[in-house]
Structure 1
């Protein structure tokens, strides 16, 4: 059994049709130039533009796909 370290996983994952996942500490700048720091082990950043809690993803992209 091998032990996993943070070096074995990418810091940024682009989910097809969904958010950008950030692993670890990052600073996100929104469209108004405000900085937002990640504080979770994995944070989801909105890429569809429809989230009600931008820059973070709230899952709205799922509803957009079913229209």
Structure 2
């Protein structure tokens, strides 16, 4: 999901993360090492 910035996201634990970038991608698969920001980890999933 692409969102125009700046963006503040409140995480489940109540903490807030912020990005001042013009546009950010939010992770919806939870595989990102930079969660809640997408790092395209979902693309590296191995297929059987």
Q: Does the alignment reach a TM-score above 0.5?
A: yes
Consecutive aligned runs of 4 or more in structure 1 exceeding 4 Å deviation: none
Runs of 5+ consecutive residues of structure 1 not aligned to the other structure: 1-19
> Aligned-residue CA RMSD in angstroms?
1.4
| TM-score when normalising by structure 2 | 0.76
Larger RCO (alpha carbons 8 Å, 6+ apart): 2
Runs of 5+ consecutive residues of structure 2 not aligned to the other structure: none
Instruction: State the alpha-carbon separation in 2 of the partners of residues 41 and 27 from structure 1.
Output: 13
From the CA coordinates, give the structure whose radius of gyration is larger.
1
> Structure 1 residues 25-34 or 53-62, which shifts more?
25-34
- Greater helix percent: which structure? 1
| TM-score when normalising by structure 1 | 0.59
